[in-house]
Homo-oligomer: A and B are copies of this chain.
Amino acid sequence: MVRSTLERLKNNFSLPIVILANGELPAHKKPISIIKNAGTIICTDGAINNAIALGRSPQVVIGDMDSISSNPIPDGVKYIKFTDQNNTDLEKTLDWCLYNDISAVTLLGLTGKREDHTISNFAIMADYVDKLNLLSVTDYHEIQAISQDQEFNCVPNSTVSIIPIRGKPIISTQGLYYPLKKEVLKNSGQGISNISKDRKFIIKVYDGLILVFIRHSD
Contact = CB atoms under 8 A, between A and B. Distances in A.
Interface of A: 85-88, 90-91, 111-120, 122-124, 126-127, 138, 140-141, 143, 161, 163-165, 178, 186-193, 211, 213, 215
Given A114-B141, A115-B213, A126-B188, A120 B161 contact: yes
Contacts of A122: 115, 119
24 contacts: A87-B189, A88-B188, A88-B189, A91-B187, A91-B188, A91-B189, A111-B115, A111-B118, A114-B140, A115-B138, A115-B140, A115-B141, A116-B140, A116-B141, A116-B192, A116-B211, A118-B119, A119-B119, A119-B122, A119-B163, A120-B188, A123-B163, A124-B187, A124-B189
Contact of A188 (B124, B141, B161): B124
B211 A119 contact: yes
For the complex of A and B, the 3 pairs showing the least CB-CB separation, nearest first, are A88-B189, A123-B188, A116-B161
A164 B88 CA distance: 15
A206 B190 CA distance: 29
B118 A143 contact: no
A142 to B, nearest CB: 11
Given A112-B112, A186-B86, A188-B127, A118 B120 contact: no
Nearest to A160: B116
A194 to B, nearest CB: 9
A86 B187 contact: yes
B86 A190 contact: yes
A33 B140 CA distance: 29
Contacts of A140: 113-116
